[in-house]
Every structure is written in structure tokens, then in C-alpha cells.
Structure 1
Amino acid sequence: MVFKMIELYTSDKPKVLIIDDEKDQVELLCLQLEDEYLPIPAYSGKEAIELVKAKLPDLILLDLMLPENDGYEICSTLKSDPEYRFIPIIIISRFFEKTNKMKATRCGADDFIHKPINRFELKTRIKSLIRIKKNYEALQESENRYKQLFNNSPAVTLLIDPVDYLIADANEPACAYYGYTYAEMTAKKITDISIYSRERNRKISQQVFSEKKGHFYSCHKLASGEIRHVEMYINTINIRGRELFFTNVYDVTASKKIERELTESEEKFKQVVELSIDGIIIGANSGKIVDCNEAACRIFGYGKEEMLELNVDNILREDFMQSIPEIITTGKAVSENKTIESINKRKDGTFFTAEIATRTFKLGDEDRLIVYVRDITERKKAERDLKSSEENFRALVNNTLDGIIILNFEGEVIAANAAVGKMFNVELEKITGTNIAKYLAPESVPVAIRDQINVLNNQGGYLSVYKAISSMGEHFWIEGLGTKIIYQNQPANIVVIRDITVRKKAEEALINAKTAAEVANRTKSEFLTNMSHELKTPLNSIIGFSDLLKEEIAGPLNEKQSRYVQFISSSGKNLLEIINDILDLSKAESGEEDLNVEKFSVDESINKVISVVLPQAQEKNIILNYQSENRTLWITADEGKFRQIMENLLSNAIKFTPAGGSIDVTLKQEGLLVTIEVKDTGIGIPEDSFEKIFKPFIQIDSSLSRNFEGTGLGLTLVKKYVEMHGGNIYVESKIGEGSSFRFELPVTRKRTVEPVLKVLE
């Protein structure tokens, strides 16, 4: 036994832990295995767990039936421990039902052997499982070495699957750099991090597969959303039969930024030089031109290659060259810049005026001369033109009839033209320096102050009327147009003023005339109203008694008497209709008539009006058609006024439509408006008379022999009633083809709507 124990600790044979409470079975198994393995006996679950911790066996033979802990519990305990879960376990039992095997498998058992045990089968299975364990341990050791190298590398390192771009692994520096946990990192694809397109990633994969390595620049997005420039070194690596991209990532944002800034700086300098309107010439110590921009070529009229064949003194005037001899002849730097105005000669022999400045600078170890040339020919011309323009402007300002005043922030006059002195009857010198309020009536001063504040606070210009006072104390009216300007480098208010006294008097006369006309119109309306009421009383008697005579209540009449009585009754009724129209118009014009607003069916109301006028249409054999797009439409309006509108329009259409013609009435709803159109095939209306037909007591045919009777009030009342409802009326017509009257009313009346008459072309 001592020998056996020494062998246990010194042998290189694989260790097999045998767990069984039957000592004979354990001893038998030890004898069967000791030639190739080191058997370790255990007779209880507790003893077995302690031996596993102490001996770390290569394999365990485990009987299911144990006194304290059964084999299922021991198997589950060992397989749930990360340190021991890779030790193979073979379950030994006399009875192996399907349920036992399933339970043992769930507990983690690797294999099963029935009792009695076949020695050859047992060794074969042990050998196979131990070989698998050894291979796994070797793989684990290899992976551990790889993990140590992978995770301890200071570089950001990723393993990327080139097929689906999934990040298969990432070391700790990678997780820290990108700002993700390991689980988050390995759940992402490289395309989730790279801001470049999937197509570019595909091309990178193809190149790496082809060359087995790669070096690329990219831009990666961190968890914080920050975009970083990175440099990627990629090699292919085969792990468990999978070819992955072993990728080292280096942040080059700082260097990229420096590179970009340098490039931008160079580009800006190049753009400044090339886009400069000034010519820039760089000369060597010898005076030879070594570089120049396009502006220099354009100014002197040479091509770039021609300019580079010249010396600086070939293109600059001799008098200029004499002022800076040391620069060209000796190459010595001057202590100050020199700007000289000079007349120079172009390649084609023409001359131009230029400003020329020079300075020296070092390029490496060599001194260079830089010459700035600005063509000021146009500026010289502009200066001459400006001087001429100023003289013209001054003559214009001093001879204009309108006054021109420039006010400072406090309202003081800092400049004025001659017309101002003449307007206020003051010498121009005395106006300058005084406050404008001195020349305004007290009631106009607040208006002028408000305008002054608004214009200087950038609230826009103004056009106001003020009451002014001349030096003689005479009051007159002026109109001032003010605008903000910059005068002598300070904000100022330039005001153009005009004497409008004559216009104000004309306006007052016009207002007085308008007031008088309104009074006269009201007097007329009142007179017509009173007269109409006075006329209606005798007219009612005339109509009433004529109707009695016509009905022969007072006795029989002969044929001639009946005809005369009929004339009296008809004329009286026509006269009464005229008087009623005049009364309605007077009420509408004076604003005495109110609307009786109620909700009613438009379709029913139109049908009632049609039934009233239909006999007149049938008498002339006129076809009257009515079409409604919404027969259930109800509106809120004065139904009486609505019917009168329809009756007047239909009566007019019947009156002016020849026999055999037609009249179409159309009803439709457009949004919040109801639209009714009355269209006939009548005689038509001249286009220049569209506005006249809505004026009272006016008819298109006003001659004594006109063909159609009437007062000319029907359409006037139609327009008034439509406008009272907040609606609009439109007319279109052609001579000989007919007329169309279309009016719109709101479905729900709004009193704020402004009525408008529109003529359709």
C-alpha cells in the first residue's frame, strides 16, 4: 500500500477517481485499471469531492447509487464548478433506463457503462475521454496564451469575421477606446463603427483575402458619437477553422487634424495668392522672377511662362527701381515697406497706373523679394468720376425745389439745402446747428420726435405731415420723408420736405364737399322715404277701388270700361312696386334695415321663387332649368332677402331673354360658401356697362324708346342684400349670347366680411 501511494504521487499515468460505496467493486476496478492508470478510490460523495479538489483526476467513474449524495448530485456539483467542469465523468449503474440517462445527461455526464463492466470497453472509453480532455487542455492553454497576448497588448485590437463583419473578439484597450463593454463590443459589426460604406468594407475584405494583409485609413464612431480618424493594420488569422481579420487600430485623429490644417493652410494661402486681385511677384536675389500669380500676368499682359523668363526690373519703371536699388542689385533687405504710385507699361505697350509695395522674406536659407502690384487705373477714373458726380449732386441738391435736411441724433440740423432756407424764410447759415423743433408747431413736435427715434432705431423710414412755422410766424404744412443714413461716420436722419399747404387746403375743401354730399344723400333718402310713404296711401286706395270696379261689385261694366279699369289697376300696382323698391333701397342705404337671420333650406327657398316666376317664363316659352349639387344644404341668412335676390335675378333674366330661350339656375357649395348662378341666353350686357348695372335708377338702354320697362333698382337691391350678408356678386356677359350673375354667401354669416363687387373677364 505504501508503494501504491508513492506511485500515486510520482507516476505520470492518468489519474482515474473511482466513486462507489461497494468496496469490492472499487477494488476490482482498481485492479483492472492499474496497469495503465492510477486509480483513486472514494466511497462517498463527500470524500469524492475532497479528492477531486486535492488530486484533480483526469477522469471520474461515478456510481449512481451512493449512501449520502447520489451520483446525480455529485455530477451536477462538479459540472457546475468552472474549475472541474471539464473533467470527464462516466456514470456506472446496473440499471439504465431512458429517464436515468436523460437525467444524468442534464447533470453533465459524459458517458454511461452498465454493470457488470467489460474491462476492454471500460478502458476504451476512458482512453477516448482522457484523450479528448488532453486535447481540450492543450487548446485551452493555447487559447490562454493567445488571450494573454491579445488582452495585454496596449494596441486597440479586434478580431473581425470577414463574412458578416461581426466583431468576434475585442481586447480591453479596444473596449476602453470605443466606450463599449465587451458584450456590447462583440455584439456589433465593424460596419456599425466605421462610417464608410458597406461597399468600401467589402473591397477592403477582398484586398486582405487576396494579399493576406492590409493597411487602411478609416473613420470610426465612438459610443459618445465622436468621429475619430484611425489607421488599421490587418492580417488574416485562422482560429478553429475560421479565417478572421486580426486588426490593430491606431488613432491618427491628431495627426490627421495637423495634416488637414496644414493642407487647408496651404490651400488658403494658394487661394489667397491666386484669387487676389493684386499682382504678386516673387523674385530671387538675382532679381529673376521665380513665381507669380494670375493677377500679375493679367496686369502686365504676359503669360505665366513668359513672366518666369523675366527679371523684376524688366517690368517695373526705372524711377521705381531707383527708389529701392539695394533690393534687386545687392539682395539686401530694406528696413521698411515702400508703397509707391507708378505708371507702368504692359506687354502690348499700353500704360497703367499702379500702386507697388515691396518687402523681403526668407525662404529656407535664401532671401526673396515679394512685389505687390495693384492696378488702380479704374480707381483713378472712379475718383475723377466721383468728383464730377459730387459736383453734379451738389448742383442738383442746391437747385431742387424740395428741401433736404440732415438731422443728427438729437434732432439738430447739421446740413440743409437752399430750398430749406427759402421755405422757412431763414438764411441757411442760421438754420444749421438749430433744433428742428424750433420750426414746427407744438402739436407736430411729438410726431417729429417719434419719427426721429424710429428711424434712428432702424424701425424703417417714414412719410409724415407736420405743421411748420416760418421765421415770420406764418403757419404752413410740410410733408417729410425720412430715411436713416451714415453721415460723417455717424447715424443721421435725412429728410426730404415739401410744402403741401395748397394740397392740404384742397383736401379740406374735398372733405367739406364730401360731408355736404353725405348730408345731401341722407336728405334725399329721407325725402324719398317720406314721399314713398305719402304716395302709398292714395295708391292703395286707387288699386283697391280699381279692383272693386274690375270685379263689378259696384255694377256691371262694358268692355271699354273693363279695359280702362284694368289699365288703372295694373299701373297702380307697378307704381306701388316702384315705391316699395325705393323704400327698400333707402332703408339699405341709410342702414336702418336689419337682417332677420335664420337657418333655412336653400334648395326649398329657390324652388319657391321658381314657382312664383315660372308662369312668366312659360308665357314667353322660356325653359327654366334648376340644378342643385347639395339639396340638403342649409345656411344661416335672411330668407326674405335671399328670395328677393333670387326673384330679382330671375325676373331680369326672363325680361331680357327672348322667347324660346333658356335660363339655368345652379346651386353648389364651395367650402364655407354657397354659390348660386343664374345664367340666361338673353340679349347680353356691354362690357363697359358692368359697373353701371348695379347703380340705382340706371338702365343700359336709357332712351325714350327703350324696349324694356323698369326702374333700374332691381340689381341695386340685389347687390345691397348680397353685401349685407357679407357676400360677393360677379357678372359676366357677351352681347347677343346672354348673361351670368353669380353670387356667393357664407354658410354661416360673418358680419366682419367686407363686400366686394368683382367683374369676371
Structure 2
Amino acid sequence: MSYSLLFVDDDKEICTIAKSFLEKTDSFKVATADSVKESFHLLKKNHYDAIISDFNMPEEDGISFLREVRSEGNKIPFVILTGMGKEEVIINALNSGADLYFVKDESPKELFGLLSEKLLQVIKSKQAEIVFHEIFNQSPIAILLYNSEGKLVQANPACMKMFNVSDKSEIDLFGNSTDQTIPMDMLTELKTGEQIDYTIPITINRRDIKNDSEKYTLEKRFINILITPISLSYPDITGEFLIQLQDLTEQKLSEFTLKTSEERYRSFFVNSHSIMLIIHPESGKIMDANAAACSYYGYTHDELLNMNFSVLHTHEMDEFNHNMQQAIQKEKSIFYLEHRLSSGEIRDVEIHSGFITIENQKVLYVIIHDITEKKRSEEALIIANKKLNMLSSITRHDILNVLTALIGYLEFAGTETSIEETRGFILKAQMASRSIRHHIEFTRDYQDLGTKEPVWHDIRAILKSSANLVNAKHVNILFDDSTHLVVLADPLLLKVIYNLLENAVRHGKKVTKITSSWHKGEDGTLKWIIEDDGIGIPHSQKTRIFAREVGSNTGLGLFLAREILAITGIAIEENGDEEKGARFTMTIPDGKYRIE
């Protein structure tokens, strides 16, 4: 880096020699002037890093030139060149603000070589001083300078504003007040020349500027103090202390507010009986879970924190990602979904989502309500209405029709004279009476349908129990005794299985065995199959057998079986091969079965 110099001497040959020697060092670029007047003309147009001026010039000497430069507030490094025997000139030059002086008793090479060396140091020092001065005055950080005896030397405008004073002598930062002193452990470090950094509360007298009054109020502020010892001579001797102050009051208040808010959140989150999770909005990772969530899902806290929120959902990833985006973009805050517990059970949930900030991070919180029972109640209401309509139809239509026939048969029997004909009408009347009883028994069973909560059934136990009830002396009922399938269904599931087994024995004619088996489908459902080796069901009857009063002595059994299974979403169909046996397949939804 080269510095720009202005060399002033009325002798142009000296100017040429000085320019040549000084520029050879590659540290300077030199402009010359042969008078003070020309020098001021150049100073107004160009920037220079230093001025070198001869003392003895005809129109105006170098001392006058120096004083004029300093009177304008210009702190540019200034070098005076004097002749021999001019000690009074040297003293006058230093008193007038000269930075260096040189006597012209050396050879040009030695003179300008020494001048270059010294001038470089002065320029760098002066520039550092100017930079510090500007930083000191313009900095928004309050800065103070104390001498080695602890006396305040300087305070910048930001510091004056912080303490609300117009004179630095009014600043009493390190007074006798115990709450404004340096901590004892740090005072020892400071005395050994180490920098210290700490924060303390201080009280400031602040005038009521808003109402333009002389009233002062005591204001408590939190100030961060950084004290740096400065060595001016030997490294281990402190000459001054540079002190920087920052008002951290707002930060402290924000930290306190945030801490209080987070403590309240933590207390509410941890102790709440509601199921709560904290989710990373981008990755979907579970960041926190309260005790209620751990208990509900059946996972430990650590297990949940190692999981993604999507693992709990039964829906496809595309649908999950769509829901997450809706929550993030605040398009939707309430979701109705299905969640899978650690046991494999699927529950209906209502999710409320929103954003909170924890430790400066924006996260998604979710509150989860189990609405399985509510949804079942709604479904039960639908079933109840359906049952009422069905019972009304049976009572009003079916029973009344049979009752009409019964009355007719009895009237015929009362008017006939032939004993044989009378006996025939009485037999028909008896059959009609049995039909009415059958319908009434169905209404009793149908009335019980859905009145109790679905329960988990051990299929092995149900098959064993039903097999003991069915009169099947010559029929083997086979099932895999090594597997443990558990199904969620209405308590009347036992009646369904009994009905399927009893129908197989009664109508299969040549049945020798009834088999129960199951397998999982690719969609997560489970196919539970009960089949026999009897005569099978004609293709034309496969769908009609589930209607009321269809087939040979089927009554309402299969219709009722379908209704019972439908309560927990289980579908039933007959898909056996005619002449090879009947096969009833029950499709059980994911979450409504367990394999233990």
C-alpha cells in the first residue's frame, strides 16, 4: 500500500530530489508544491496522508503553514524540515502541532530514508487514532476510557445518552454502591490484565422528557460490561481501561417472558390429561410427547421421540403429507383421522393443530381426542333408527299378514263339519302361530343388536364353544389351534358363528368337515373363512341368502349375522363352489383384528 504525500519547498530541485528518493521506497506517491499558497490549492482538490514542509520559505514559513492547517481542524501528519542551529524552530514546530522534524544536515539518501521509516509509523498511528476517534464517537455502544488510577478520561455520546447526562463527571458507574461494582472474582482477573465480561443491574436517574419536566425517575436497567485492560508501555503494565456497555434490559425482559411462557407451557403440556404431541413442521418427526400420549398410544416417551407422526396414521403417505401441508399453511386446524395404537388397534381421533414457538423454533403442536366411542354412538344411532324401521316393517307387515292367515284358518276350522278338513285348518293355524313366534324371537334378537359395546373376541374360544352347541356328531370342525386371532365385534358374534356352523350341518346334507382359516390381504384387511364340504349353495342364491326369509328354513339367521358383523365394519359373502361346499368369507378391516 502506498501513501500520498505533499512535499513543500521553494527550491524545485529539492522537490525533485525528495520525490525521487521517497517514491523509490514504493511506500509513497509524492506531489510537490513550491509555496504555501500552491499547497492550499492542492489540499482543496486532493487527499494526502501527510505533509512535509521546509521551514524557511520566502512568502510564508513552514510553522505558519502548520498553524494554518491545524486551525482548520486538519489532523494530517505534518513534518517540518529545518536547517542547522534552529533549536527554537524545532520547539516552536512541536508546540504548533508538528508530528516530526528533521534537520537538513544529512545526505539526501540518509535523510529521506530515515524520514520514510518514521513517517510510515506516524501515518499508521494517526490513521488508527482517527479510526478509533470515529468509532468512539459514532458507535451506538456506550464506550468509556478510564486511566490506570480508575479515573474516567473519556465517555462517548452513546454513553452520555445511556446515563442521561450532559457531563461525563456525572457518570458514577464504579461508585461506592454495592450493586454497581465489579464482581470480586473478576476484579482479581482484571488486575492481572485479563479482559472481563459480566452483566449487572444498575439504577439510572432518567428525566421525564415526554412531558418536558424536570421530574426524574429511578429506572432499573440491565447493563452488560466488557472491560479491556490496555497496555501503553510494558505488556504487563496496564495504562488504561477500555469499557464497553450494552443495555440488555429488553433482552432480559424478553428472556424472562419467554422463560415464563415456556415454563407455563411445559407445566400445562406435561401435566395435561389431554393427549399432546409436538411435531417438527417439515419432517413430521415427533419432538415431544406428554404422559397422556405415551399412555394412549402404548409407547414409551423415548419410543415416540424416535418416531415420525406419520407412523401413527393409517392413511396413505400422500394423504398424510396433504394434511400436514394444510396444517402448516393454516388452511385447516381440525382433522378427523384414524390412528393405530402399539397393540395394532385402530381408533378414531379428532386432531386440533396449531403453531407455537419453543426456544426460538416454530413447531406444530397437536391435541388429540379419541372419538371412537362418539363415532360408535353415532353409528349406533343410525343402526337404532334402521332397526326401528325394520321392526316396524316386521311388526306391521309380516306378523299382521301371518296373523290374518291364522284368523282365516281358525274361521274355516270353525265352519267346517268334516273332522279331517277341520284338522287340516288347525294344523295350518299352528304353523302360522309358530311363524309369528319365530318373527317375535327375531325381533328380540334384533332388538339386542348394537346395544352393547363391541368387544375383542378370541376366535379359537368362539369356535370351540359353538362346536359344542351344534349337533354335529359326524362332522369334524377344524381350525388352527396354534394361531391366536382376536376380532373386535358385537357381543352377538357367538350367534353368528353358531348360525354358520348350524346351517352347514343342517343344509349341507353330506357335510363331513367344517374348516376355519384366515389370511391377511395386501390392503391390511384380514379374510376369515368358514367353509364346508357339503352340497354348496346355488349361484343364483349366493346374494339372496342374506335377505329375510330366503331359502329352505333359513329364517332370519344369515340376515341377522350380516347385521351383527356390519356393526364393526365386517363384511360377509358366500363365494363357495356349487356342489363342492359353502364358503363364507368375512373381510375384517385393519385395526379391527389382532394376531397375538
Give the TM-score normalised by structure 1: 0.27
Q: Larger relative contact order (C-alpha < 8 A, sep ≥ 6)?
A: 2
Q: Considering only CA atoms, is the larger Rg found in Structure 1 or Structure 2? A: 1
Give the TM-score normalised by structure 2: 0.34
